[in-house]
């Protein structure tokens, strides 16, 4: 049951740009920038760091999967914790707490001496990283007028995703331990900027109403319709992490299987994919505003992704340069990440919005714990190329299934509660 509440929103400025470039939007974008830097840094320095820790080449894939799964398990746990806190204590409490935890954890990553230490700290970092995107998108969605909400959330994601580009260049210029120190330091610096950020007016109104249940995670499973709505939000995001977590992270192995003479560098593949992703995120937000639809744009981007997965896996490349160009195109295809999180935030009322917007992207990221065992199973049965193709087909078809009966939320007023 939906109950209306009194809406609190900043007055509309005469300039669209002035409305968008509010301090909370800028700080949320920079926060996501640091978040992505730290989240993707392991994928970029995986080979270098594991070699320095004494891992043999034959164990590089299995140990890499172990560490990625550990980090993603942290994201799953953190997604639930920060989501609930975001609705109970406020969006700002999450933005402060999460960045402190993952910044300190990433600094500690620079001191690891074993794979098990590495795994523990990637788990802690994952818990911290889980809160950044959902809380930031929720805050931005609630403070901006509904007519330009899509521009704001796309801006946050587009700026944020460029953190992967910085991570690549930092890892290329410095040793992997220094790259972790720099990421942690950037997070602590950003923490100081957050002092000037104000809380969402919509949330403040709800917080003052003691009778309203906030951040009740189990409420998402109270009815079949509520659960299915929540599940659809998760399913539509699966292809994004199939591309990032499988195709990009293990791009050196795919490059070898495709017979490229020049070795593929995972960090470079991740960097180029995220450049495409940043462009795609900005484009998908603009397209959704132009088409007055979230669903239509998401459907088109999924179609583009499916086409590029086929190209990535089956079209013979002549050079590594061409391979990286396909990584950019693939990144553009899954560049509906901001749109996907915005849809999740718009589906649910203010008392559950942060819970949903924080848990959904982290459940998608955490789905790598299901994808990697399936990938290894399919790889053993069908080979690395056909195994990846089968997994990609499953994730994209599942995303379309989630999109099928999803509510269109473009221009939806967020001034309501879930009861």
Query: Which pLDDT score is estimated for 103?
Result: 94
Query: Which pLDDT score is estimated for 249?
Result: 82
More confident residue, 200 or 8: 200
Residue 11 has pLDDT above 90, yes or no: no
The class (CATH top level) of 21-194+214-412 is: mainly alpha
pLDDT band (50, 70, 90) for residue 309: very high
How confident is the model over 135-169, as pLDDT tens digits? 888 888 888 888 788 888 888 888 888 888 899 89
Query: Which pLDDT score is estimated for 8?
Result: 40
Query: Which pLDDT score is estimated for 391?
Result: 97
Alpha carbon 356 to its chain centroid, in Å, reads 14
pLDDT band (50, 70, 90) for residue 12: very low
Query: Which pLDDT score is estimated for 141?
Result: 85
Rounded CA separation 378/210 (Å): 51
User: What does the pLDDT average to over 125-135?
Assistant: 90
Structure tokens, 346: 């718009």
What is the average pLDDT score of the chain?
87
Rounded CA separation 87/90 (Å): 6
Query: Which pLDDT score is estimated for 182?
Result: 96
How confident is the model over 243-288, as pLDDT tens digits? 998 999 889 999 999 989 899 988 889 889 989 998 998 899 889 9
pTM: 0.83
More confident residue, 148 or 295: 295
How confident is the model over 23-78, as pLDDT tens digits? 888 888 888 899 889 988 887 888 899 999 999 988 888 898 889 889 988 989 99
User: What does the pLDDT average to over 3-9?
Assistant: 43
User: What does the pLDDT average to over 337-341?
Assistant: 88
Region at 29 (left for phi over 0; alpha for psi -120 to 50; beta for the rest): alpha
How confident is the model over 71-122, as pLDDT tens digits? 988 989 999 999 999 888 888 888 888 989 999 999 999 999 999 999 999 9
What is the 3 state secondary structure string of the chain? CEEECCCCCCCCCCCHHHHHCCHHHHHHHHHHHHHHHHHHHHHHHHHHHHHHCCCCHHHHHHHHHHHHHHHHHHHHHHHHHHHHHHHHCCHHHHHHHHHHHHHHHHHHHCCCCCHHHHHHHHHHHHHHHCCHHHHHHHHHHHHCCHHHHHHHHHHHHHHHHCHHHHHHHHHHHCCHHHHHHHHHHHHHHHHHHHHHCCCCHHHHHHHCCCCCCCCCHHHHHCCHHHHHHHHHHHHCCHHHHHHHHHHHCCHHHHHHHCCCCCCCCHHHHHHHHHHHHHHHHHHHHHHHHHHCCCHHHHHHHHHHHHHHHHHHHHCCCCCHHHHHHHHHHHHHHCCCHHHHHHHHHHHCCCCCHHHHHHHHHHHHHHCHHHHHHHHHHHHHHHCHHHHHHHHHHHHHHHHHHHHHCCCCCCCCCCCEEEC
How confident is the model over 358-404, as pLDDT tens digits? 999 989 988 888 998 999 999 999 999 999 999 999 999 999 999 99
More confident residue, 404 or 413: 404
Query: Which pLDDT score is estimated for 3?
Result: 46
Query: Which pLDDT score is estimated for 199?
Result: 67
Query: Which pLDDT score is estimated for 200?
Result: 67
Q: Where are the domains of the chain?
A: 21-194+214-412
How confident is the model over 188-227, as pLDDT tens digits? 998 887 776 766 677 777 777 766 778 788 889 989 999 9
Taking residue 415's Cβ as centre, other Cβ atoms within 10 Å add up to 18
């Amino acid at each position: 049951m939906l109950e209306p509440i009194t809406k609190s929103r900043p007055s509309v400025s005469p300039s669209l740009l002035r409305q968008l470039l509010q301090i909370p939007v800028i700080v949320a974008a920079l926060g996501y920038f640091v978040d992505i830097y730290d989240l993707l840094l392991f994928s970029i320095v995986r080979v270098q760091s594991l070699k320095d820790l004494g891992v043999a080449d034959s164990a590089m894939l299995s140990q890499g999967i172990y560490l990625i799964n550990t980090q993603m398990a942290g994201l799953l746990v953190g997604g639930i914790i920060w989501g609930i806190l975001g609705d109970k204590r406020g969006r700002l409490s999450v933005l402060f707490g999460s960045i402190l935890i993952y910044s300190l954890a990433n600094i500690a990553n620079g001191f690891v001496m074993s794979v098990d230490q590495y795994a523990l700290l990637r788990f802690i970092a994952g818990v911290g990283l889980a809160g950044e995107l959902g809380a930031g998108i929720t805050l931005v969605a609630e403070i901006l007028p509904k007519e330009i909400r899509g521009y704001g959330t796309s801006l946050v994601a587009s700026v944020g995703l460029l953190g992967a580009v910085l991570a690549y260049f930092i890892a290329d210029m410095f040793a992997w331990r220094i790259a972790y120190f720099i990421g942690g330091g950037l997070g602590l610096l950003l923490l100081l900027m957050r002092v000037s950020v104000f809380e969402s007016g919509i949330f403040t109104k709800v917080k003052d109403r003691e009778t309203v249940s906030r951040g009740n995670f189990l409420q998402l499973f109270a009815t079949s319709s509520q659960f299915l709505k929540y599940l659809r939000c998760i399913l539509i995001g699966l292809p994004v992490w199939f591309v990032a977590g499988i195709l990009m992270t293990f791009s050196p192995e795919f490059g070898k299987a495709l017979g490229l003479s020049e070795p593929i560098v995972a960090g470079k593949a991740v960097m180029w994919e995220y450049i495409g992703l940043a462009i795609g995120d900005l484009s998908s937000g603009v397209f959704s505003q132009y088409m007055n639809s979230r669903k239509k744009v998401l459907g088109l981007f999924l179609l583009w992704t499916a086409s590029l997965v086929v190209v990535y896996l089956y079209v013979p490349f002549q050079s590594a340069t061409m391979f990286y160009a396909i990584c950019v195109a693939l990144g553009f295809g899954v560049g509906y990440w901001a749109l996907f999180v915005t849809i999740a935030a718009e589906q649910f009322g203010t008392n559950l919005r942060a819970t949903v917007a924080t848990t959904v992207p982290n459940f998608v990221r955490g789905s790598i714990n299901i994808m990697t065992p399936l990938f290894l199973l399919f790889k053993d049965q069908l080979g690395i190329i056909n195994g990846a193709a089968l997994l990609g087909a499953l994730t994209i078809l599942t995303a379309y299934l989630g999109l099928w009966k999803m509510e269109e939320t473009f221009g939806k007023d967020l001034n309501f509660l879930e009861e």
